[in-house]
Structure 1
Amino acid sequence: MLIKRLTNFSFKIVFSCLFLVAVLLIVSDIWAPFTTDATIQKRISNVTSQVNGIVQNVYVSNGEQVNKGDVLFSIEDQDYISLLASSKADYIITQQNIESLNAQLQSDKANLKIQHAEYNKVLHHFKRFKKLFNAHQISEDDFEQSKTDSELALAQIELAEANLQKTQASLGENKSNGQYLQAKANLERAQLNLERTKVKAKQAGIVTNLQLSTGDYVSNNTSPLLLVDNQHGWLIANFNEKGIKALSHSQKVLVVYDAFPGQVFEHRIDSIDYAVDTGVGIIGKASTTNTSERWIRKSQSFPARINIGNESHDLIAGSKATVMVVSEDNIFWRSFSQLVMHTISLLRYIY
């Protein structure tokens, strides 16, 4: 009988403690928000080739640490070398054409001067013949011939000016010749594409998800590997909206990482997102409503970004964690947060 009473009493004590803890956890959403929905995020760079071709060599392996500028893999470059040679030839031919046009320009200018000099000579001859014709000292035929000669000389000046303008237009002003600029652009593009056959890391990081081998074909819309920046990471924790008043910039939080059982870390909130997708209005789109008819609905969650410092080095992107806010002004909730998180850290040894 005594054993039965002790058993019942023990059961009541345990049940009461569990009930109290449950109530405190529910209330803590307001005073000391708690969440198990927290994930490590890191900067991940998609490595893509900017040119198409067959992979010639792969210089890295999965999980390898690389630095910015390291060559990751190379693409067969024979076609790009040929294209560069062809572009160089076109560029040289265009330069020669420019030199030829410059020479033609000088020739046209000289010819225009000659035509002006010839016109002045013929004009002077015409004026003299006009005086002689008015004095009836020469025949009308001679006068008309001198007049025709002056008109022809003027026409030659106009032709020389037209040729000069044509040459100037072909040459362009201030090296703005279209053919030259096109050839130069093609040459620079060919040089750049040849350099791009060696795909380099644009940031330091760890090679991840390497799906590449010699002989594979890659294009500029494929991503055969990723680079994870292991030096910089942060924790995104999704809290219940009931606890938004308890969160602020630089708010202290306790964190238990699934990867580090038995350890509790202290961090600070870096920022809070004050909008989720269902709360963002888009210009030009009609309003939307939630069609859920449930009487009791789940509260909205919102993300907070937590600065985790150097702990990110030993954690992979996607690692899970449990987070609880510390109410530094309230000794009860501060102690409760410490108790809960240290208990969870021990439970992480089991699950």
Structure 2
Amino acid sequence: MVKNIIKIALIILLLACGYLSAVKLWDHYMIKPWTRDARLRNNVIGIASYLNAKVDSVYVKENQFVHKGDTLFSVDKRDYINAYKEAQRTLAVLNEERNQAQSEYNRRIELPKGLVSKEEVDQKSFNLSIAKSKYSQQLTKVEKARIALSRIATLATVDGYITNISSFKGSYIKVGQQIMSLIDANGFYFYGYFMETQLANITPGDRAIIKLMAYPDQMIYGEVINVARGIADYSNTSSSGSLHKVDPTYEWARLAQRVPVLINITYVPPEVRLTSGLTATIEIENQNDK
């Protein structure tokens, strides 16, 4: 009799343990927000030329760390120095012409009435206006030449890493032509793609536990910033615009859309080297569950 009671108790205990384990697994995989489809992203800054010119020097190497304000590359400045000097010389000539026109006008209006006709005064006034206009236009050209000369060297706008250098000394580049990229050292963040059924349990401020595939034993922590307010509708391509294009996944027989969730990084272990594009698994801890 006692043995039967023990057997029944053990069976009940095993069933209870199995039930609790099943509930826990269901909560982890079906209710608690998590995803294996996450990407480490970064603010990548395209470094392009402000001028049409030959590359004179490239001061950085691939994957080199640079500080804000460091010189990345420079172009041949000789043509721009000559253009600036020529603009200044022309400005000096136009300044003399403006002064001459001003002097002639002043002399006419200082003469007693009757000694000079109104038409002549009006003509001198017109000449002065033209001279002033030409001088003003040339001032603008001098300033443009000065700005161009100041852009001979291109500087880093943030602390970061140089990558994808595509032009070197002697290459001819045009305005706006990108010749390298700058990865912002402080611009890393994650985009996690969560099923729409999990969104009700994700709110800004929730803690994110992140594991990179490259560092499976290292924990990165983050914080939910926001949830995307739109994704592309593959059934209506004309209205997609520039929305996130997320490949759909099928759960059972019903389509579950995945929505991007932006996550800011709050802690990275010293052993982890962040590289934009790495894949990760993200689990969200709701603030109410803490």
Q: TM class, shorter-chain normalised? A: 0.7 to 0.9
Work out which of the residue numbers 264, 279, 286 in structure 2 matches 1:307: 264
Report the Cα distance in structure 2 between the residues aligned to 1:324 and 1:94, rounded to whole angstroms: 70
Count of matched residue positions in the alignment of Structure 1 and Structure 2: 260
Decide which structure has greater helix share. Answer: 1
Percentage of matched positions with identical amino acids: 20
Q: Secondary structure at the match of 2:205?
A: coil
Alignment deviations for residues 104-123 of structure 1 (CA, whole Å, 9 cap, x no partner): 11121133x2x43x6xxxxx
Work out which of the residue numbers 221, 230, 250 in structure 1 matches 2:176: 221
Alignment of 1:313-328 (within 5 A): 314-327=273-286
Work out which of the residue numbers 125, 132, 144 in structure 2 matches 1:189: 144
Contact 2:51 2:174 in 1 (8 A): yes
Superposition deviation, residue 189 in structure 1: 1.0
Q: Secondary structure at the match of 1:93?
A: helix
Flag the 1:250–1:281 CA change in 2: closer, same or farther, 3 A.
farther
Q: Secondary structure at the match of 2:218?
A: coil
Superposition deviation, residue 325 in structure 1: 2.0
Work out which of the residue numbers 264, 267, 274 in structure 1 matches 2:219: 264
Q: Secondary structure at the match of 1:81?
A: helix
Alignment of 1:68-217 (within 5 A): 68-111=68-111, 113=112, 115-116=113-114, 157=116, 160-172=117-129, 177-217=132-172
5+ unaligned residues in a row in structure 2: which ranges?
A: 1-13, 242-247
Decide which structure has greater strand share. Answer: 2
Superposition deviation, residue 262 in structure 1: 1.4
Alignment deviations for residues 7-53 of structure 1 (CA, whole Å, 9 cap, x no partner): xxxxxx9xxx9xx77x9666645520221111111111100111011
Q: Secondary structure at the match of 1:325?
A: strand
Larger Cα-atom Rg: 1
Superposition deviation, residue 282 in structure 1: 8.6
Matching residue's letter, 1:326: E
Matching residue's letter, 2:283: M
Which residue does 2:185 correspond to in 1? 230
Flag the 1:71–1:327 CA change in 2: closer, same or farther, 3 A.
closer
Contact 1:54 1:217 in 2 (8 A): yes
Kindly indicate whether residue 203 of structure 2 is the aligned counterpart of residue 248 of structure 1. Answer: yes
Alignment deviations for residues 79-105 of structure 1 (CA, whole Å, 9 cap, x no partner): 111111211111111101101111111
Kindly indicate whether residue 1 of structure 2 is the aligned counterpart of residue 44 of structure 1. Answer: no
Report the Cα distance in structure 2 between the residues aligned to 1:102 and 1:72, rounded to whole angstroms: 48
Alignment deviations for residues 172-195 of structure 1 (CA, whole Å, 9 cap, x no partner): 39xx92211111111111111122
Which residue does 1:149 correspond to in 2? none
Report the Cα distance in structure 2 between the residues aligned to 1:296 and 1:24, rounded to whole angstroms: 24
Q: Secondary structure at the match of 2:217?
A: coil
Q: Secondary structure at the match of 1:69?
A: coil
Matching residue's letter, 1:201: A
5+ unaligned residues in a row in structure 1: which ranges?
A: 1-12, 119-156, 286-291, 335-351
Alignment of 1:56-67 (within 5 A): 56-67=56-67
Q: Secondary structure at the match of 1:74?
A: strand
Matching residue's letter, 2:68: K
TM-score by length of 1: 0.66
Deviating beyond 6 angstroms after TM superposition, the runs of 4 or more aligned structure 1 residues are 279-283
Superposition deviation, residue 327 in structure 1: 4.7
Report the Cα distance in structure 2 between the residues aligned to 1:37 and 1:298, rounded to whole angstroms: 16
Report the Cα distance in structure 1 between the residues aligned to 2:25 and 2:222, rounded to whole angstroms: 21
Matching residue's letter, 2:275: I
Contact 1:30 1:246 in 2 (8 A): no
Report the Cα distance in structure 2 between the residues aligned to 1:105 and 1:328, rounded to whole angstroms: 79
Contact 1:72 1:201 in 2 (8 A): yes
Contact 1:51 1:193 in 2 (8 A): yes
Superposition deviation, residue 170 in structure 1: 2.9
Report the Cα distance in structure 2 between the residues aligned to 1:265 and 1:185, rounded to whole angstroms: 53
Alignment deviations for residues 212-264 of structure 1 (CA, whole Å, 9 cap, x no partner): 21111111131110111112321110100011111001112321112322123
Report the Cα distance in structure 1 between the residues aligned to 2:65 and 2:100, rounded to whole angstroms: 55
Flag the 1:220–1:180 CA change in 2: closer, same or farther, 3 A.
same
